Amino acid sequence: MFTLRRDRPILLATAICAVGVPLSAAAWLSARTAGLAAHLGAAGGVPARIGAVDADLTGAIRLADDALGELVAADAVEASVALESLLAGALRADEIRVAGPRVSLHVDADGDSDLARLARRLIHRPDSPDSPDARDAAAARGRLRRIVVSSGTLSAQDRKSVV
């Protein structure tokens, strides 16, 4: 027969684990998400925001409420891995789904845009086409099978040159 006196430490340990483990995991995930947004913002030179991160057992990672400054925002960006890639031991995005993207760009008089400048800052160009970085980048580009975009908006404004 169980007694309350003997079961009290077990109940206390269970309660601590039931509350502490999820809170610790949430705090760790929040810190890592904020760190990722800060790194992305520093690389792009604009403030970045990632609202939430979710992952499932099928290899899909979903970032919700994302933004890069005032230029690009999305309700969600989800990257998924095909079973074929998982079985081959390669963890890479085979498909990217973007839900509710909102892009607002300004085109300069010379045809350049703030979105193009942001993309150039985010994409690292290797010095030589024969460098290991170039081979890795070329291999990575060939892996993505498709990008699916649903219900978004694009607004573009031209900036008049001021003389």
pLDDT digit string, tens, across residues 76-103: 999 998 888 778 877 788 899 999 999 9
* Structural element, H or E, at residue 8: helix 4-44
Residue whose token pair is 């649903």: 150
pTM of the model as a whole: 0.70
Whole-angstrom distance, CA of residue 135 vs CA of residue 142: 11
Average pLDDT over residues 132-146: 61
125: pLDDT strictly greater than 80: no
77 neighbors 62 (Cβ within 8 angstroms): yes
Average pLDDT over residues 37-45: 92
Residue predicted with more confidence, 101 or 163: 101
134: pLDDT strictly greater than 60: no
Choose among 95, 78, 87: nearest CA to 147: 95
Residue predicted with more confidence, 158 or 68: 68
The partner residues of 147 in beta bridges, in order of sequence, read: 96
CA distances from 38 to 1, 25, 46, 87, 96 (A): 56, 20, 10, 33, 22
150 neighbors 98 (Cβ within 8 angstroms): yes
pLDDT at residue 163, as a whole number:
44
Q: Are strands 146-150 and 153-158 parallel, antiparallel or unpaired?
A: unpaired
141: pLDDT strictly greater than 60: no
131: pLDDT strictly greater than 60: no
Residue 41 is classified by DSSP as: H
